[in-house]
Structure formats: structure tokens, C-alpha cells
């Protein structure tokens, strides 16, 4: 009888491990493809935008200075890269680093001549660049 009990316990562990692995596979196959989605620049996008119509993509560019307009939580602005410019519409709260000089990576779709962003990631280059200071002079140099 103890032999049957051991086999039953082993079978339970096999099923438990199998379900855990199945759950892990489901999680990985549904979340990883979105996290590995590469981005295209505004110039790459405008060169062949039909390729991306109505598909969710990540778009990289820089905010056009003076183009930011917002009313409530609706934001309209333009992004550029090289010679290409694209209008963007975003509904929601903006990151603190979003401004006229920000580099942005936008997630969204291209519809009706505008990029409809669902997520905005902004980087303000000046905030993260190392501040260059003149080298400190030693006491011997001052004398």
C-alpha cells in the first residue's frame, strides 16, 4: 500500500510541476514579445509609414521646440528626426522629463495622419549629462 501512496505523491508532483511550467510558458509568450519590440525613428517611419499603419510600434524622436499644446490631459506635439516631422496626440499624464528639448520614445499607432501615443517615455538629455567642471588645482599649482 505504501508503494501506491508513493506513486500517487509522485504523480501529484509531476502534475504540479507541469502546471507551473505551463503557466510560466503562457506568461512568457504573452509578455516578452511586447518588451522586445524595437523602435523606429521618425525618419524611418515617414519613409515607409504604410508598413506601420494601424500596427502598434515604438517611435523615437525629439520634440519639436514650441510645438507642445495641451488642454487637460490631452497633449498635441510634433516629433522629429533628421528632416522628418510627425504630429503626435497623447491622452494622459506626461512624465516630468517631458519638455521642448526632450528625446522621446512613444508607443502607439499611426491613424489619420497622426501618431496616437498610448505611452510616452521622455529623456531630458541635460538632466542626465555629466556636469563638466575644471580640474581642481593642487596646492603646489596655486603657489
pLDDT per position as a tens digit, 32-86:
655 556 678 999 888 887 888 778 889 999 999 999 999 999 999 999 999 899 9
Domain boundaries defined on the chain: 1-36, 38-127
* Out of 22-36, 95-109, 124-138, least confident range: 124-138
Higher local confidence (pLDDT), 32 or 21 = 21
Reference 67, options 42, 81, 87; nearest CA is 87
Beta pairing, strands 57-63 & 74-81 = antiparallel
Average pLDDT taken over every residue of the chain: 81
| Cα–Cα distance, 85 to 76 (Å, whole number) | 13
User: Does the predicted model carry a pTM greater than 0.95?
Assistant: no
Contacts of 86 (CB under 8 A, 6+ apart): 42, 45, 46, 59, 61, 78, 79, 80, 114, 115
- Look up the CATH architecture of domain 38-127: Beta Barrel (2.40)
Amino acid at each position: 500500500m505504501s508503494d501506491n501512496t508513493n506513486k500517487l505523491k509522485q504523480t501529484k508532483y509531476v502534475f504540479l510541476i507541469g502546471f507551473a511550467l505551463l503557466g510560466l510558458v503562457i506568461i512568457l509568450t504573452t509578455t516578452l514579445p511586447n518588451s522586445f519590440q524595437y523602435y523606429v525613428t521618425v525618419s524611418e517611419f515617414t519613409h515607409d509609414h504604410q508598413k506601420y499603419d494601424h500596427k502598434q510600434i515604438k517611435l523615437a524622436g525629439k520634440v519639436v521646440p514650441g510645438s507642445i499644446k495641451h488642454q487637460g490631459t490631452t497633449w498635441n506635439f510634433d516629433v522629429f528626426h533628421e528632416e522628418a516631422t510627425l504630429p503626435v496626440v497623447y491622452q494622459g499624464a506626461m512624465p516630468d522629463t517631458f519638455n521642448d528639448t526632450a528625446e522621446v520614445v512613444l508607443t502607439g499607432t499611426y491613424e489619420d495622419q497622426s501618431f496616437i501615443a498610448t505611452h510616452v517615455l521622455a529623456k531630458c538629455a541635460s538632466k542626465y549629462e555629466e556636469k563638466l567642471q575644471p580640474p581642481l588645482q593642487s596646492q603646489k599649482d596655486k603657489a
